[in-house]
Structures are given as C-alpha cells and as structure tokens.
Amino acid sequence: MSRVVVTGGCGFIGSHLVEQLVARGDEVTIFDGTPPPAWQETARQHARFVQGDILDRTALAGAITSGVDVVYHLAAVVGVDNYLARPLDVIDVNFTGTRNVLDLAADAGAKVVVASTSEVFGKNPAVPWREDGDRVLGATAADRWTYSSSKALAEHLTFAFVRQRGLEATIVRYFNAYGPRQRPGFVVSRSVHRALNGKPVVVYDDGLQTRCFTYIDDAIAGTLLAADSPKSVGEAFNIGSMTETTIGDAAELVVKLVGPETELHHVDTGVRLGKSYEDLARRVPDNTKARTVLGWTCETSLEDGLSRTIEWSRQNPWWLALPDSGAE
C-alpha cells in the first residue's frame, strides 16, 4: 500500500485514477476545489478529501505531507473553451500550481507524476511525435497557445526539479483521452452528448483534422505504470493511441453508434471562434518509449471505447443534462 495524493482528483481523468488507486489498496488523498460529487462514490467512501485552490500553497500543504509516497498532479485548466475565455487562469493554474506541487513534493520526499498534454508539440508537422520532438507554435497573441505554453513550462519546471533538487518525477502526455464522465466540451464527449440529446454533432471546418483517441482506461494504465517504474524518473512519456482518425470520421462513428437520425453540422471556426483559435491538422504520438520502457499498450479501439462511453452516458441522465460548450 502506498500513500498517494491526486490533485484534481474530482475531474475526469483524476476521478478514474482515484478509483484505480483505491481498488489496488492505496491510501488516497484527493486535493480539489470542490468535494467529490455524489456519483464519485468510491472517492467519497474510501479517500480523504482536502478542499482548496492549487494556487493556495497553505491549503495544498494540508494534502502533500511528510510520508506521502506519490503525488499525481492532474489539477489544471483545460479545454479550448477555457483557454479562449480564461487565458490568464490557464497560465496561473498550470504554471504556478505545478510549482507549488513540486515544491511541496520535494520537501515531502514524494515522487510526482505530472499530467501533461499532446498540445506541448503545437503544430509540429513532423508526425508521429517522439517525446523529444520540437515544439512549433503560433503567435503569442493567439490565446490558442496559452495552454500549450503553460503545460510546457510545467514540464520545464518538472525537469528542473529533477536535476537541481533531486526530485523523483515523471511526465505523462495524454493524447485525446476520452470516456465516461468527461465534460462535454471535448471532441468525443461533446459529440456523444449532443447526439444523445437529439442535437446535431458539430464538426469544425472540413473535419479532416486527425487525432489519436485514447480511452480513459488505457490512459490510467499508462499513468500507473509511470508512477511505479523506477525507469520513469526524469522522463516524459506519450500516452496515446497511434491510430490516426479524422474528426469527421470520429463524428460519423458516433452517429452510427447512437442512431442514423443523428445529424452532422459543420462549423466555420474562422467565423465562430475568431483569430484566437487555431486548429491543428494532425496530432499523432510515437508511443514506442511508453511501450518499451513502461510496458504500456493502448488496448481499446475507438469503436469499442465509444460504445462503452455511449452506454454509460445513456445510463446517467445527470451527465446528459450538463451544458455543452463550443461553437455551433
């Protein structure tokens, strides 16, 4: 049994991670801004909860204490809607919040797993992206790149703590994670949400942009392997499927699985979202390093993962009642 802390443990990835940690017998503390909701029964019954803002070092110190073995740092401001509307919050939370976590974890002697993102690569055209691939970004005036830059700075902080302070830390970069409970503000979750609510599934522009969708169970498996492996210290790992799928094809698969009465609706992002938004043509990981070092494989096909997500969504009307976000 390990003593672990999960920042952002009430969020999408965090809540799934908490369930797996509890199931394997770890002693779990959740640090989040809001208590676990009613549906997060495992966390409410089997995890300690510390409420606070990740920017509040004093509150965070109530969770990351001496004797903690591993800190999973997932707290962040994420999502296109957020980094277009709240760019300052994105920078503050993702950078300063990470600094607070690393400082306290170093003092406590805990290992840290920092959740990062495929967005750090920006629009590097040389796909698939290896972990040491170049970052290619747009202009700083475009809010689109605040998230990418803030998470990249969080990675720089992590590597700096490893080298200067001897912190045991590793980075996992998720590639389009999806699954049950995800806020309906992302490609898959929003498409499923709209389809099941009888609304057209939105496709941005021509729908030829490609992504590599990673089911939540596979993402959690990679995260746990990174935490457990001594070879992961000072390393970053791409945690993502290498199966490239166009946004249009993903939307059509949702339509197929939900029912033929569902419609597709194309949105011109230049008109609806303005110059602050800039899409990526392709986003493809090279996951060789995670496979060879961690022994991780992405086992869930998109159709299988979508089927599970849709089945769960049909059974949870509270999720279907949530507002979706984005242009229509």
User: 63-78: per-residue pLDDT in tens?
Assistant: 999 999 999 999 999 8
For tokens 């809540």, the residue is 15
Q: What pLDDT shows up at residue 324?
A: 84
User: What is the pLDDT confidence band of residue 84, given thresholds at 50, 70 and 90?
Assistant: confident
Contacts of 262 (CB under 8 A, 6+ apart): 195, 198, 200, 201, 254, 255
Distance separating alpha carbons of residues 104 and 102, to the nearest angstrom: 6
Given a cut of 60, whether residue 328 has pLDDT beyond it is: no
Given a cut of 70, whether residue 237 has pLDDT beyond it is: yes
Q: What pLDDT shows up at residue 205?
A: 85
The answer to which of 220-234, 249-263, 268-282 has the lowest mean pLDDT is 268-282
Average pLDDT, the chain: 94
Q: Tell me the chain's radius of gyration from C-alpha atoms.
A: 19
The answer to which of 15-24, 87-96, 244-253, 279-288 has the lowest mean pLDDT is 279-288
The mean per-residue pLDDT over the stretch 155-159 comes to: 98
Of 147, 174, 204, 215, the active-site residue reads: 147
Which domains occur in the chain, in start order? Answer: 3-178+214-240+286-298 (3.40.50.720)
Is 215 among the residues known to form the active site?
no
Given a cut of 70, whether residue 249 has pLDDT beyond it is: yes
**By the 8 A CB rule, do 83 and 138 touch?**
no
Given a cut of 90, whether residue 159 has pLDDT beyond it is: yes
β-pair partners for 123: none
DSSP for 22-86, written as a single string: HHTT-EEEEEESSPPPTT-HHHHHHEEEEE--TT-HHHHHTTS-TT--EEEE-----SHHHHHH-
The strand ranges marked E within 212-260 are: 214-215, 236-239, 245-246
Q: What single DSSP character describes residue 145?
A: G
Instruction: Look up residue 127 and give its two tokens.
Output: 């796909």
Q: Which of these, 30, 34, 33, 50, lies nearest to 42 by C-alpha position?
A: 30
Distance separating alpha carbons of residues 126 and 66, to the nearest angstrom: 43
Distance separating alpha carbons of residues 328 and 326, to the nearest angstrom: 7
Distance separating alpha carbons of residues 113 and 158, to the nearest angstrom: 9
Q: What pLDDT shows up at residue 161?
A: 98
The DSSP H or E segment spanning 270 is helix 269-272
Q: What pLDDT shows up at residue 273?
A: 63
For tokens 């309906």, the residue is 184
Contacts of 12 (CB under 8 A, 6+ apart): 177, 179, 181, 182, 183, 216
